[in-house]
Chain A
Amino acid sequence: MGGYGDVQCIDENGIRLDGRKIDEVRPMSIEVGVVPVADGSARMKWGLNDVIAAVYGPMEAHPRKIQRQDRAVLDVRYNMAPFSTTDRIRPGFNRRSREISKVTAEALESVVLTELYPRSKIRVEIEIICAEAGTRCAGITAASVALAHAGIPMTDLVVSVASGKVHDVVVCDLNKEEDNYGEADLPMGILPNTGELVFLQMDGDLSPQQFQEAWDYNMGAAKVIHEVMVEALKGGDE
């Protein structure tokens, strides 16, 4: 991080660059049904992130070799639009999007009742329209709302959120500067109704105390995010 060591992300009162407290999540909103031709869809705005997830299926799994005789497979494709960041992203699959697609599929497969649809596949497309930080978390969250909107049976929604460490202070829901200049990042996928974990990654080093702190922030944030998700699914309070 040469040359950037003096970037100050948190002031002496514990207020961050975007005016949040250290345990606060960025403002967010979720809308369902944004892709009318899909079986289910959701758009999530989370800070400056803007993510659209669309779900198709269950349908016959193609190619044949991906079929499983006892369950459905989730075909997840995470993609960042070329214009989603200031540096243009080369279109197409890359190492990073392949990894995120894989962890997303695994997180979602643990809640979807795949055994009800043997030999089928459920196609989940996640498109990042605008990226700030934590797009994988926004993608997983939006995808689980889209799956619920498609009427796919699932035992719970998946809430995903990342906390991390910036200049030895653990903060909740990293923004762009904190993600770039901070030291660690801990994205988690949480089942809000049971508190179970379906997805955990860690980038950088956290001491056991800091890990616990980040964990607690994520668990707290998951409750807030879950309320937004449920409200979106129920069509708000109109």
Chain B
Amino acid sequence: MSGDKGADGPRRSRQAPLLVAPGEDLGDSGEFEAGHGVLSINGRLRALKQGKMNKRGNIVSIEPRRTAFMPRPSDLVIGYIEGCTSNIWFVDIGAPFNAILPMSLGPAKAEFGGIRKVLDIGDAIICRVQEVEENHSSVVTMKGMGLRAIRSGSVEEIDPHLLGRLIGRGGNNLRQLKEDTECRLIAADNGRVWLDGDLSGIIQARNSLNDLLKQAKIEEYGGVV
């Protein structure tokens, strides 16, 4: 436990990340600002989540061990069509609430009653979050470069906060993985990864994805996953 030490006190080496639990005191909020997973209460910084404490500049944040995906505008997400009306698709983007995809933002116009010929229930799509309302319902769009329906390959799911580890510094890990497997690989912000290529390539990519994430978790936190 960091106890009542300052926010920079207990962090010494990169080998031993400082793990915190919710409610832990992270020091005085005078010199440091509260980042992700940190709240300032009565002049003290308080951890809100379980995870690794990071200090960058004067911002203290927590890289959580687990977290739910909450959509933000401009997030690239992979969604599944869950339902539709005559001019709106409802898309499961892995968030607490389904997003809506109006026909005006869809891939093509459909005749009245023909919406399921364009995108059917169960289809996977690559889309971008257009806006998120205050009550957490969001609108996604398929107008933009590379946004389309997924008709081949496979979609894998990983915990969203582990995306950084998959992508690597400057995208190195992801690039290496693409080269090794000769697959097309798109990692969306909601933790879904689209793999497309030969079957053997997809299987290889899938395995190395699982290995990488398992390894990352074990290195980071010990045996518990």
Q: Which A residues have a C-beta under 8 Å from some C-beta of B?
A: 32-33, 39-40, 57-60, 69, 111, 113, 117-120, 148-157, 191-193, 229-230, 233-236, 238
Bound complex: CA A54 to CA B49 (Å): 17
Contact B136 A117 (CB under 8 A): yes
Query: Which of A59, A151, A229, A238 is within 8 Å of B66, CB to CB?
Result: A151
Contact A230 B135, CB 8 Å, known A151-B65, A153-B49, A157-B21: no
Please indicate the chain B residues that have their CB under 8 angstroms from the CB of A236 in the complex. 222, 224
Q: A113-B48, A154-B49 are in contact. List 10 more A-B contacts (CB 8 A).
A: A40-B66, A151-B66, A153-B22, A155-B46, A193-B46, A233-B50, A234-B50, A235-B221, A235-B222, A238-B222
| Smallest Cβ-Cβ distance to B221: which chain A residue | A235
Question: Given the known A-B contacts A113-B48, A117-B136, A148-B50, are A39 and B68 also in contact in the complex, defined by CB atoms under 8 Å?
Answer: yes
Query: Is there a chain A Cβ closer than 8 Å to B185's Cβ?
Result: no
Tell me if B145 counts as interface (CB < 8 A to partner A).
no
Give the secondary structure class of A's interface. loop
- CB-CB under 8 A from B225, the residues of chain A are 33
A155 partner residues in chain B, CB cutoff 8 A: 22-23, 39, 41, 46, 48
Q: Please determine whether A32 and B224 come into contact, CB atoms closer than 8 angstroms.
A: yes
Give the CA-CA distance A191 to B51 in the complex, in Å. 19
Tell me the minimal C-beta distance from B96 to chain A in angstroms: 5
B185-221 interface code vs A (CB 8 A; 1 in, 0 out): 0000000000000000000000000000000000001
Interface code B55-86, partner A: CB below 8 Å = 1, 0 otherwise?
Answer: 00000000011111000000000000000000
| Contact across chains for B23 and A157 when beta carbons are under 8 A apart | yes
User: Cβ of B21 and Cβ of A230 under 8 Å apart?
Assistant: yes
Chain B contacts for A120, CB-based, 8 A = 96-97, 136
Smallest CB separation, A69 vs chain B (Å): 7
Could you tell me the distance between the alpha carbons of A150 and B134 in the complex, rounded to whole angstroms? 23
Q: A149 to B49, alpha carbons, bound, how many Å?
A: 8
B108 proximal to A (CB < 8 A): no
**With A58-B96, A157-B22 known to touch, is A118 a contact of B66 (CB < 8 Å)?**
no
**Chain B proximity of A11: nearest CB distance (Å):** 37
Distance in angstroms from B20 CB to nearest chain A CB is 8
B4 CB to closest chain A CB, in angstroms? 11
Interface status of B6 (Cβ within 8 A of chain A)? no
Bound complex: CA of A160 vs CA of B97, how far in Å? Answer: 33
Given contacts A120-B97, A150-B66, A151-B68, contact A235 B223 (CB under 8 A): yes
Give the dominant DSSP class at B's interface. Answer: loop
CB distance from A232 to the nearest CB of B (A): 9
Find out whether the CB atom of A148 lies under 8 angstroms from the CB atom of B46: no
Q: Are A60 and B19 in contact (CB under 8 A)?
A: no
Would you call B121 an interface residue if the criterion is a C-beta within 8 Å of the partner chain's C-beta atoms?
no
Residue numbers in B under 8 Å from A152 (CB-CB): 49, 68
The residue from B21, B136, B223 contacting A238, defined by CB atoms under 8 A apart? B223
**Closest B residue, CB atoms, query A59:** B96
A40, A120, A151, A238, most chain B CB atoms within 10 A = A151
By a CB distance below 8 angstroms, the chain B residues around A230 are 1, 21, 24
Q: Are A156 and B23 in contact (CB under 8 A)?
A: yes
Residues of B within 8 A of A229 (CB): 21
Decide: A118 near B23, CB < 8 A? Known: A58-B96, A154-B48: no
Does A149 contact B66, Cβ atoms closer than 8 Å?
yes
Q: Would you list the 4 A-B pairs with minimal beta carbon distance, nearest first?
A: A156-B23, A238-B222, A151-B66, A153-B48
CB of B162 to closest CB in A, whole Å: 12
Contact yes or no, B66 A60, CB < 8 A: no
Residues of B close to A234: CB separation below 8 A: 19, 21, 50
- Knowing A193-B25, A234-B21, A238-B222 touch, does A117 contact B96 (C-beta < 8 A)? yes
B37 within 8 A of A: yes
Return chain B residues, CB-CB under 8 Å to A238.
Answer: 222-223
Pairs A–B under 8 Å by Cβ, sample size 7: A58-B96, A69-B135, A151-B67, A192-B23, A233-B21, A234-B19, A234-B50
